[in-house]
Amino acid sequence: MNPPDAATRRAERLLRWYPKVWRSRYGDEFTELLISEISERPRSWARTLDVARGGIVARLTRAGLCGFAADPAAQVRASLVSLGCCLAVFLPFGAAMWSQLTIGWQWSAPGTTATGIAMVVMSAAMLAFLVLALLAAVPVIWSVLPPIARGPSADLIAPSVLFLAGVLALFIGGRHFGNGWPGTGGHPWAHRALVPGGLAAFSWASTMSVSAYWAHPSALAAFPAAEIAWMAVSPLAVASAVTGAAKAVRRADLSPGVLRFEIRLASAACAVMAVFLAGCCLWVVDGGAGQANLFHAGTIDLLAIAVLTIALAVARQAANEARRGGLRLTVR
Amino acid sequence: MPRQQEDDPGAAPGLAGLGRYAGAATLILASLADSTKHGYALTKDIESFAGVRVAPGTLYEALARLQARGLIEAVESQDRRRPYRLTAVGAAALRAHLDAQRRVADVGLRRLASGWGTA
C-alpha cells in the first residue's frame, strides 16, 4: 500500500465529520493539513477525537445551536429553524398526551384536582402554541409571497409546496381518522369536557403515531390497515411540513425587523413549552386517578416526557443563539 | 464572575468573546503576526515558539471563529493549502490582549520577587 494514498483516504474519512457547507469552504485545506499530520504521526486517537468533536461543533454551528456565524441574519435563521424542529418533535408527543386526557374528559372528569389543573395548564399552553404559530407564520408568509408573486422562484415555491402538502395531509388524515373514532366523532362541541370533542379527536388522530402499540406488534396487527398506514405516514407529513417551513425560512429574505420579532416569539415558545411540560409532569406525578383508568399515565407518557424535556433543552439553546445573533442584527 | 459574552454588540472585537478558543486564537494570531501561514505551517510554528501542538479540529474551529470576527482573512491561493493573514483589527486585538497579559505577568513577577526572592 502506498503510504500517501492511505493518508489521503484517512484524511477524507475524517473530513466526513464536517457538514457539506463547511467542507466546501475548508475541505481542501483541512484535508492537506490532515494528510501532513497523518504522514508525521500515523496513529493518534487524540487527533481523531479532536476532529470528530470539531465536526460535531461545526454541525451544531450550522444548525444555529452554538458558535459564531459571520452573517448574523444567517445565524438567527438557522437558530429559528432548529427551534422549529424542536417544536416539531415536542408538539406531536405533547399533543398525543394532551388528546389522551381531553378525550378521557369527554367521558368523565378527572378524579383529582392535580390532574384537572394539569389538563387546564396543558390546554392553555396548547392555545398559546396556536397563537404563537399564527403570529410567527404571518410575517414569514408576508415575506415569501411577494417574490413568488413576482415570478416563479423554485427557491421558495418548492419549500412552500412541501409545507402545504404536509399540512394538508395532516389535516385530511386527522379529520378522517378523528371523525371515524366513536369516542368523540359524534359530538364535535361536547358540552361537558374541557375542549371540544372534535378538536380532541383531531389531535388524537393526528398523533396516532405516538403510540405504545409499536412495541406490541401482535396487537398492532389487529388494527385496520388504513390506521397502521396513517400511523406510518403522519410523521412523514409532519417532516414534510417542517422541512418546507425550514427551507422557506432559510431562503426567504426576512428583514431584521421580522427576525427580531421571530426571536421574541421563539423565547415565548420556550416559555410555553416549559409550562406545558410542567403540566405533563403534574399529571404523571399525580398518577391520573379517575374513572375506568381514563387518565392513567403509562410508560409511553414517561418516555414522552423525556422527549419533551430534551426538545425543550435544545429549543432553549436555539432561542439563546437566535437572541445572540439578534443583538448583532441590532447594531448593523 | 461576569462572563464575557460573545453577543455583546458594543464590545471591541477582541479575544475575550472567543471563550474556550481564546488560547488557540492567541497562538494563531501571534503566529500570523509576522507572515501569512497555512494550517500546517501554523501548527509547526506554534509548536516551535509555544511548545504546544494545536490539534487540527481545534485549529480550524479557531480559524473559522477568527475569520468570522474579521481578525484574520484568507489569502487567495492556487494551492489547496490556503494561507491566512492578520487583519488590522486582528493586530489591534492581539496587541490589546498581549498588553493585558503582560501587565498580569509584570505584577505576578514583581510580587514573586518581593515575596520569594529572585530565582
Same domain, A32 and A79: no
List pLDDT tens digits, range B42-100: 999 999 999 999 999 999 999 998 998 899 999 988 888 899 999 999 999 999 999 99
Query: Which of A62, A90, A111 is the C-terminal boundary of a domain?
Result: A62
Number of neighbouring beta carbons within 10 Å of residue B107: 10
Same domain, A33 and A126: no
- Architecture field, domain B19-116: Orthogonal Bundle (1.10)
- The residue of A25, A29, A320 whose CB has the most chain B CBs within 10 angstroms, and thus the best one to mutate to test that interface, is A29
Same domain, A226 and A135: yes
Same domain, A119 and A217: yes
Q: Is B101 on the interface with A (CB under 8 A)?
A: no
Same domain, A170 and A199: yes
**Helix, strand, coil share of chain B (percent; to 5):** 60, 5, 35
Same domain, A109 and A197: yes
In terms of Cβ atoms closer than 10 Å to its own Cβ (0-12, 13-18, 19+), residue A189 is exposed
Q: Which residues of A touch B59 (CB under 8 A)?
A: 33
Q: Which residues of B touch A52 (CB under 8 A)?
A: 57
Same domain, A94 and A49: no
> From the CA of B56, how many Å to the nearest CA of chain A?
7
- CB of A261 closer than 8 Å to CB of A267: no
Cα–Cα distance for residue pair A159/A141, rounded to 1 Å: 12
- CB of A141 closer than 8 Å to CB of A244: no
Q: Which residues of B touch A32 (CB under 8 A)?
A: 38-40, 80-81
Query: Which of A22, A40, A62 is the C-terminal boundary of a domain?
Result: A62
The count of domains in chain A is 2
Same domain, A312 and A293: yes
Q: Which residues of A touch B39 (CB under 8 A)?
A: 29-30, 32-33
Same domain, A80 and A181: yes
Give the three cell numbers for residue A251.
431562503
Same domain, A126 and A41: no
In terms of Cβ atoms closer than 10 Å to its own Cβ (0-12, 13-18, 19+), residue A289 is middle
Each residue's pLDDT tens digit in chain A (332 positions)? 455 588 899 999 999 999 999 999 999 999 999 999 999 888 899 999 999 999 999 999 989 898 777 788 888 999 999 999 999 999 999 999 998 888 888 777 788 888 889 999 999 999 999 999 999 999 888 887 877 777 766 678 888 899 999 999 999 999 888 876 655 544 544 556 678 878 888 898 899 898 888 888 888 888 889 989 999 999 999 999 999 998 888 888 888 999 999 999 999 999 999 999 999 999 988 876 665 667 787 888 889 999 999 999 999 999 999 998 888 876 54
Same domain, A299 and A246: yes
Domain with A95, as residue range(s), is 72-331
> From the CA of A50, how many Å to the nearest CA of chain B?
5
Q: Do strands B84-86 and B72-74 pair parallel, antiparallel, or not at all (unpaired)?
A: antiparallel
- In chain A, the residue whose alpha carbon lies closest to the alpha carbon of B41 is A33
Q: Is B104 on the interface with A (CB under 8 A)?
A: no
Is the residue at A67 inside a domain?
A: no
Q: Is the dihedral of CA A162, A87, A55, B6 positive or negative?
A: positive
CA B82 to chain centre: 19
Q: What is the ipTM of this complex?
A: 0.80
Give the three cell numbers for residue A311.
426538545
